[in-house]
Amino acid sequence: MVRRFLRLAVKIVVALAVLVLALIVLYRWVDPPVTPLMLIRLPAEGRIDRHIVPLSAISPELWHAVIASEDNRFCRHHGIDWGAVNDAVNEYDEQGRLRGASTITMQVARNLFLWPGRGFVRKGIEAGIALTIDALWPKRRVLEVYLNVIEWGDGIYGAETASRAYFRVPAARLSRHEAALMAAVLPNPRRWSPAWPTEYIAGRADAIAGRIPKLDGYYDCLR
């Protein structure tokens, strides 16, 4: 009985792995229609407000702002920033609290295939998917998918929808200040709003905007 259960479990895991790999290959060219998070939020929010646009239709100011805010080594690593992971593990050993060390690629992996939450098991799966995505997608595609699936408020997903909702302009016309405000709320977009920033968010946005020109050489994979 136990062996039968184990064989079944192995078959399910292998089937899921094959499905994820197939979707990663497909999403290299095809835009993901929906994410698990969107479906999880749908009953409470009652809508999925999202308009998919190519990376060329999103202001480079936003590209730079999210990299400066979320993953300033985006062009340097291969899906995982091992230095940040090591720091997070050391902090966990000292404080017993697991903080985020997610790269943009890891956030794409989580949004496309996983569930919200923390824990080493989910982080391990996320890391494996992120490494696969980085191996199969160019960096521009990783950023493009990220900017089109990321949550930016209640029922608001993607840069184009968020830009129009908060600043009444298409994502292509975002200024550096507006882009920095949008990046500043990403750690908790359901609590903070780019259009009505708290003192903390305004200060965080100023710091992000100031960091952008200092990272000029770190955007080379997007050129």
DSSP string, 135-194: HHS-HHHHHHHHHHH-EEETTEESHHHHHHHHHSS-GGG--HHHHHHHHHTTTSTTT--S
CA 145, 149, 150, 156 torsion: positive or negative? positive
Helices 104-113 and 120-136, axial angle in degrees (round to 10): 110
Residue among 105, 149, 146, 103 nearest 129 (CA): 105
The proportion of the chain whose per-residue pLDDT surpasses 70, expressed as a percent, equals: 92
Distance CA 19, CA 39 (A): 19
Q: How confident is the model at residue 121 (pLDDT cuts 50, 70, 90)?
A: confident
Top-level class of domain 31-222: mainly alpha
Give the DSSP H/E element, type plus range, for residue 50.
strand 49-50
Residue 69 burial by Cβ neighbours in a 10 Å radius (0-12, 13-18, 19+):
buried
pLDDT tens sequence across 154-193: 999 999 999 999 999 999 999 999 999 999 999 999 999 9
Polymer length of the chain = 223
What pLDDT, on a 0 to 100 scale, did the predictor assign at position 116?
80
Can you give the residue ranges of every domain in the chain?
1-30, 31-222
Residue % of the chain over a pLDDT of 90: 71
